[in-house]
Amino acid sequence: MPDKTNKGTTRNSRRKFIASGGAIAAGMCLGGPGIAKAAAVETLALNGGRKAVTASASGSTAWPLFGDAERKAVDAVVSSPGYGEIQALEKAWQEHFKPPYCKSHINGTSALTSALFALNLPPGSEILVPSLDPWFGILPMRFFGLVPVFVDNHPRTLNFDLEDAKKRLTKNTRAIEVVHLFGLPCDMEAICDFAKEKGLLVLEDCAHAHNASINGKFIGNWGQIGAFSCQGSKVLPAIEGGMGHYENREYYERAASFGHYECPGQFPRDSKYRKYSATGLGLKLRIHPMGAALARCQLKVLDQQTELEREQNHSLNSRLCQLPGISEQAPGPGVKRVYWRWNPLFIDPAKAGMSREAAVRALKAEGVAVGNLNYSVSHRDAVFNEPEWWHHPPVIPEQLPGLDEALRTGISLPRFTKPVPELIDQYVAAFEKVWAHRASLGKS
Ligand SMILES: Cc1ncc(COP(=O)(O)O)c(C=O)c1O
């Protein structure tokens, strides 16, 4: 257990001691601070010692956190069925995120599909998209004759690698689609500057990043369109739901006409989409009013929840990242991130002095809920490699070294959704213990 009486100094000297080398791992008594000696001689749980993590983790990652407010809101829809909740959600969303225009959709995939339609690109247009990204915003490109061009992910942010994207630019490139993975914003200033210089449109997949911002500007308001998912695992959960942000009236009216036949009739008289008031443009992607009601409740607690998680993860990561070879997803200047699903970290085996696998094995034995980082790598999925599904087949890269490195070195820790200070202290103690033994843990 960490020494609670003298937190800062004890932790610092303990970490310096651990960082100082492998002699500790042999259990030698070097005469350092008492707690450091304790870390050194404590037997690893892997070898039959006491586990470092003993606090209950029950409920610590529970999600979504629905309660009385959500029950009442859903009840109200059942008691008085209608669509009023949809307008109420769009109004509340507009007030919170302040996009120029917004429209709710049945889920994130439909928000992304409508966005691809709204961009109105000619068939054969290439869209640069990161490979470390599930299919939702990529596969619908095939309906519009668009061409995904897979781009590398940066190994230490996990996000769209602009430098790699620059190498994949052709005369057919028309847009960039970025994903703010696990809640960390992409470098939108650089991406938007580049897009402007090259005349490209920018679509943001914000499925993981509600309430994240860069220099006070919300994610979703940087590109021409931002698409959000409110599926049950997401930062703003409604079990199923989605939202689009639109830079101008044209994108908004086009996206809304695509999947909402009830919208064109409400557009201003001079709208070129008003004539589709009887039909819309082919799909019906209206959010369920119960989803809208749940999303509106969650919007009210979004600031509080994202701040709680930010503080907790900072408390954990700022301590873990002082250990040799550990780093977190690197935020750029002015970034306020959020967390979706996991807290991803990286272990550099050369600096850590042990392999990621050895560290994960020992940490698991200590009671840490840790695993290798594992996430969708779309360019390897069958559907992107079979030309029969495409008017213009995707561009599949031979190698994506950044992505490979990310998956080789990444680990995932839990995203704690409730305050768990004792558990976090014990996680730190577990890492410090394992790091103290790192030389003996070997490279396997
Ligand atoms: C990055 C990303 N984009 C889009 C989506 C699609 O959202 P939905 O499930 O609401 O359709 C998801 C959902 O998991 C996602 O992870």
Q: One-letter amino acid identity for 340?
A: W
Residue 435 C-alpha to ligand 1 middle, in angstroms? 36
| Boundary (domain end) residue, out of 280, 299, 318 | 299
Q: How many domains are there within the chain? A: 2
Same domain, 203 and 77: yes
From the list 130, 119, 214, the residue with the least C-alpha distance to 174 is 119
Integer Cα distance of 111 and 114 in angstroms: 5
In this structure, are 44 and 83 located in the same domain?
A: no
**Residues 227, 89: one domain?**
yes
Final residue of a domain: which of 299, 328, 361? 299
Q: Which atom of ligand 1 is nearest to the CA of 340?
A: 16
Q: For residue 144, how many other CB atoms are within 10 A of its CB?
A: 17
Q: Which residues are near ligand 1 (CB < 6 Å)?
A: 107-109, 133-134, 136-137, 179, 205, 207-208, 229, 231, 242
293-310 confidence digits (pLDDT tens):
999 999 999 999 999 999
Q: Domain check: are 428 and 374 in the same one? A: yes
Calculate the average pLDDT of the chain: 92
354 touches 441 (CB < 8 A): yes
Distance 67 CA to ligand 1 centre (A): 24
Q: How far apart are CA 16 and CA 281, in angstroms?
A: 63
171 has pLDDT over 60: yes
- Please say which residue of 283, 299, 315 terminates a domain: 299
**Band (443; pLDDT cuts 50, 70, 90):** low
State whether 32 and 87 are in the same domain.
no
pTM: 0.92
Q: Are the C-beta atoms of residues 403 and 295 closer than 8 Å to each other?
A: no
Same domain, 199 and 344: no
427 and 327 both lie in a single domain: yes
Task: Report which protein residue has its CA nearest ligand 1's atom 8.
Answer: 108
Confidence of residue 41 (pLDDT cuts 50, 70, 90): confident
- Residue range(s) defining the domain that contains residue 128: 68-299
Q: For residues 320 and 326, give the distance between their C-alpha atoms in angstroms, rounded to a whole number.
A: 7
In a shared domain, residues 154 and 110: yes
Q: What is the CATH number of the domain that holds 173?
A: 3.40.640.10
- Per-residue pLDDT averaged across 51-61, rounded? 97
Asked whether the predicted pLDDT for residue 56 surpasses 90, the reply is yes
Q: How far is the CA of 135 from the centre of ligand 1 (A)?
A: 8
- Whole-number Å distance between alpha carbons of 77 and 80: 5
Same domain? For 221 and 273 the reply is yes
Ligand 1 nearest-atom number relative to CA 181: 1
State the CATH number of the domain containing residue 356: 3.90.1150.10
Pair (239, 95) in one structural domain: yes
pLDDT, tens digit (0-9, with 9 covering 90-100), for 364-398? 999 999 999 999 999 999 999 999 999 999 999 99
Q: Work out the average pLDDT over 330-352.
A: 96
Assess whether 308 and 293 both reside in one domain: no
pLDDT tens for each residue of 181-234: 999 999 999 999 999 999 999 999 999 999 999 999 999 999 999 999 999 999
pLDDT digits (tens, 9 = 90+) for 104-131: 999 999 999 999 999 999 999 999 999 9
Are 316 and 246 members of one domain?
no
Measured by CA distance, the residue closest to atom 15 of ligand 1 is: 207
Considering only CA atoms, which residue is closest to atom 1 of ligand 1?
207
Nearest ligand 1 atom, CA 240: 10
Residue 286: half-sphere exposure toward Cβ, Cα within 13 Å: 15
